[in-house]
Structure 1
Amino acid sequence: MQPRNMSMSGVVDLAAVKAAQEAKAKAEQARAEAARQGGGGAVSPADLVIDVDEAGFERDVLQRSTEVPVVIDFWAEWCQPCKQLSPVLERLAVEYDGRFLLAKIDVDANQLLMQQFGVQGIPAVFAVVAGQALPLFQGAAGEAQIRQTLDQLVQVAEQRFGLTGLTVDPDAEPGGGDRAAQDVPAGPYDALLEAAVRALDSGDLSGAVQAYRNVLADDPGNPEATLGLAQAELLQRVQGLDPVRVRKDAAEKPQDVEAQIVAADLDLVGGHVEDAFGRLIETVGRTAGDDRETVRVRLLKLFEVVGAEDPRVIAARRALARALF
């Protein structure tokens, strides 16, 4: 299974939006269910380092990354620097006490994963957070540098995605935490939401929009469907656009509300969140009446895509209030 929704541009992008919002809820649900069944949802220290192959990548890395950052160590038996780095990462995985999970991938046996991540040489270390790939470092690295990188990773995972890691119990049976998480019952809309995700992955934006709307018809407050719909509609709006023409129009026509709105959509899809927000806030400041309201409503839609708790949304809301009043 090749990795889905991978982005090497950074840990926060469109594909991460939905995963970031659902990650905390899924982790809390798993812990609550494990506690109800009499367990703490705790894992053994032995569970903090796992071997991963292509067949188990989605289960062992993508799914697990919605509850804990997963650090990937690309290695090979013949690689001498790997033999120096891997034991350090394994020791730190235990020392960090569940704040990240270490997944070891043998590149000789998993060429497809190596290609998907764009690995040019080993050792190479990546992280996956809420389903998104982030390159950490390649080649030899000192322990101080590794610790600094890991500290930044776990901080981003907690602050931006609500991922507080795994509970570790030295007395827990190896594999027990995984079984507790797998026993969590499916939600009433999981099938519809999964259908929407599959539609997004296959490029069927209309199908994804309809699937999310089906969920919202029965459960108007469903947060995953709300976010998913906002993302799918955004992707629909930019489909087929000529980015060069859109940006040229926006630059030449600063007073053209539609030109600025379309350019903001492209900014957001490209990962330029602050640029998208700033463009529309400036447009709000120089418009009035129906034009201003049109821009304001589109900006609120973009806030939905990124998520209300994102610090960039919080800052943009304050800036919007200043522009309005």
Structure 2
Amino acid sequence: MQPRNMSMSGVVDLAAVKAAGEAKAKAEQARAEAARQGGTPAVSPSNLVIDVDEAGFERDVLQRSTEAPVVVDFWAEWCEPCKQLSPVLERLAREYNGRFVLAKVDVDANQMLMQQFGIQGIPAVFAVVAGQALPLFQGAAPEAQIRQTLDQLIQVAEERFGLTGIAVDADADAAAGAEPQAAPPGPYDALLEAAVRALDADDFAGAAQAYRNVLSDDPGNTEAKLGLAQAELLGRVRDMDAQKVRDDAARRPGDVQAQIAAADLDLVGGHVEDPFGRLVEAVRRTAGEDREAARVRLLELFEVIGPDDVRVTAARSALARVLF
């Protein structure tokens, strides 16, 4: 089990990127051409986060991706999880100091790009590496998991494509009179950081308590709600015998607790539709306390993935049909 990957529903197998050799050759050719022309000038920190539209996509994303990975954040003004995720990505882009560039795409204004990338729900995050597009994750996620995905992306971009990032002139923004980019710490940053550290240490109970502390003051905090659901899930599956859980679920289809355990394990394994379908079916064929237990666990798993994910929307509709 790889618990920190469990919620990144679209995590790509970067080692299986098609045409990797060809893409690497193109990236090397582009860098050689830039060197012949005097090299690529350093960029300002503010240029590490850019707004991209359809007209500028080739210039701003595809060409830049021959120097550093470009992380593409598909968002919309009406999307509440986007408002939680985007500031984290922007801050990390500046912190990583040129190891990747963040390109933000407003899906309402760029429907063609949304269709080309096959976006079905937002927020959705992709990467473009040496001209190759690949999905990273969909929905909001705790910062620890985002960092892990970015670190993997940067490592593979360097090892497979030779992309070492772009130079950043830290003084450029100050010279141009730009406003400082760093935002003041939020009221719950310390608690959220404590939760992330606990997750990294596999202290899922400690992480869950830190997220509960945030929610006690701010019940609508999206990051804390998502983090709590994931920490609780990871805590439940930590000591599971995967083979026994799957065998029990297969042998006892009417045992609600066996189906709940299998659903937890499936979700941690990176599946989404299977555990949702399993629990919807458990709700359909049970009554009383068993039905309520299956329904509540399904709602908890919805929180792990995020309410705006299309798979959650579909499963909610299926649940409503069996309940009513």
Q: Distance in 1 between matches of 2:214 and 2:172?
A: 37
Kindly provide the CA deviation profile for residues 214-255 of structure 1, in whole angstroms up to 9, marking residues without a partner as x.
111221221111111011000000011011110000000000
Deviates more, 1:195-204 or 1:81-90: 81-90
TM-score norm. by structure 1 comes to 0.54
1:188 aligned counterpart, secondary structure: coil
Paired residue for 1:230? 229
Q: Which amino acid in 1 is paired with 2:123?
A: F
Q: Distance in 2 between matches of 1:154 and 1:99?
A: 14
- The answer to whether the 8 Å contact 1:157/1:164 transfers is no
1:252 lines up with 2:251 in the alignment: yes
Number of residue pairs the alignment of both structures matches:
211
Q: Which amino acid in 2 is paired with 1:247?
A: R
Q: Distance in 1 between matches of 2:187 and 2:119?
A: 28
Alignment of 1:290-309 (within 5 A): 290-309=289-308
Paired residue for 1:186? 185
Paired residue for 1:160? 122
Q: Distance in 2 between matches of 1:295 and 1:6?
A: 25
1:182 aligned counterpart, secondary structure: coil
Match of 1:83 among 28, 31, 35: 28
Q: Which amino acid in 2 is paired with 1:281?
A: V
- The answer to whether the 8 Å contact 2:204/2:235 transfers is yes
Q: Distance in 2 between matches of 1:128 and 1:202?
A: 29
1:321 aligned counterpart, secondary structure: helix
Measured after TM superposition, the shift of residue 180 of structure 1 is: 5.0
Match of 1:14 among 4, 7, 10: 7
CA change 1:80–1:155 in 2 (3 A) is closer
Q: Write out the 4+ residue segments of structure 1 that deviate beyond 6 Å after TM superposition.
A: 87-90, 128-132
Deviates more, 1:182-191 or 1:306-315: 182-191
Kindly provide the CA deviation profile for residues 142-188 of structure 1, in whole angstroms up to 9, marking residues without a partner as x.
xxxxxxxx9579846794316699xxxxxxx96589x7573322211
Q: Distance in 1 between matches of 2:280 and 2:33?
A: 47
Give the superposed CA RMSD. Answer: 4.2
TM-score norm. by structure 2 comes to 0.54
Measured after TM superposition, the shift of residue 191 of structure 1 is: 1.3
Measured after TM superposition, the shift of residue 324 of structure 1 is: 1.2
Kindly provide the CA deviation profile for residues 78-117 of structure 1, in whole angstroms up to 9, marking residues without a partner as x.
x865422558999xx9941656864846xxxxxxxxxxxx
Q: Distance in 1 between matches of 2:118 and 2:183?
A: 26
Measured after TM superposition, the shift of residue 289 of structure 1 is: 1.3
- The answer to whether the 8 Å contact 2:9/2:271 transfers is no
Paired residue for 1:323? 322
Kindly provide the CA deviation profile for residues 237-289 of structure 1, in whole angstroms up to 9, marking residues without a partner as x.
00110111100000000000000000000111111100010000011111111
Measured after TM superposition, the shift of residue 15 of structure 1 is: 4.7
Name structure 2 gaps, 5 residues minimum.
11-19, 35-39, 41-51, 74-84, 90-111, 128-170
2:263 aligned counterpart, secondary structure: helix
Deviates more, 1:151-160 or 1:259-268: 151-160
Q: Distance in 2 between matches of 1:191 and 1:243?
A: 35
Q: Distance in 2 between matches of 1:285 and 1:86?
A: 59
Q: Which amino acid in 2 is paired with 1:244?
A: Q
Alignment of 1:1-325 (within 5 A): 13-15=6-8, 82-84=27-29, 95-96=56-57, 98=60, 102=65, 104=67, 155=117, 159-161=121-123, 175=173, 182-325=181-324
1:290 aligned counterpart, secondary structure: helix
CA change 1:158–1:182 in 2 (3 A) is farther
Name structure 1 gaps, 5 residues minimum.
8-12, 18-73, 106-124, 133-149, 166-172
